Amino acid sequence: MLSKLTLMEFRLFVRDMVGPALIVALPVALLLGFGFMPGGTKASGDLAGQSAAEYIASIDVGLVLVVLGFTILPSVVSDYREKGVLRRLGTTPVRPSRLLAAQLLIYAVSAVLVVAMIVLLGNAVFGTPVPGRFGWFVLAVLLGMGALFGIGLVVAAVAPSGRAGSAIGMSLFFPSMLLGGVYIPREKEAAAMRAVGDYTPLGATLKTVRDSWQGLDPRPAQLAALAAYAVVALAAAVKFFRWESR
With bands split at pLDDT 50, 70 and 90, how would you rate the model's confidence at 47? confident
Give mean pLDDT, residues 154-183. 91
pLDDT at 11: 65
C-alpha to C-alpha distances, 128 to 35, 40, 56, 144, 153, nearest whole angstrom: 10, 10, 10, 22, 33
pLDDT at 12: 62
Give mean pLDDT, residues 1-30. 70
* Residue from 73, 76, 27 nearest 53 by CA: 27
Residue with the bigger pLDDT between 104 and 140: it is 140
With bands split at pLDDT 50, 70 and 90, how would you rate the model's confidence at 10? low
pLDDT at 243: 85
* Residue from 243, 203, 210 nearest 99 by CA: 243
pLDDT at 16: 64
With bands split at pLDDT 50, 70 and 90, how would you rate the model's confidence at 20? low
Write the Ramachandran bin of 94: left for phi over 0, alpha for psi from -120 to 50, otherwise beta: beta
With bands split at pLDDT 50, 70 and 90, how would you rate the model's confidence at 115? very high
Give mean pLDDT, residues 105-134. 91
- On the question of pLDDT at 71 being above 70, the answer is yes
Mean confidence (pLDDT) of the chain: 87
pTM for the complete prediction? 0.90
High-pLDDT (> 70) share of the chain, % = 91
With bands split at pLDDT 50, 70 and 90, how would you rate the model's confidence at 136? very high
pLDDT at 235: 94
With bands split at pLDDT 50, 70 and 90, how would you rate the model's confidence at 101? confident
Extents of the domains making up the chain: 2-240
Instruction: Tell me the torsion sign for CA atoms 47, 217, 202, 116.
Output: positive
pLDDT at 4: 67
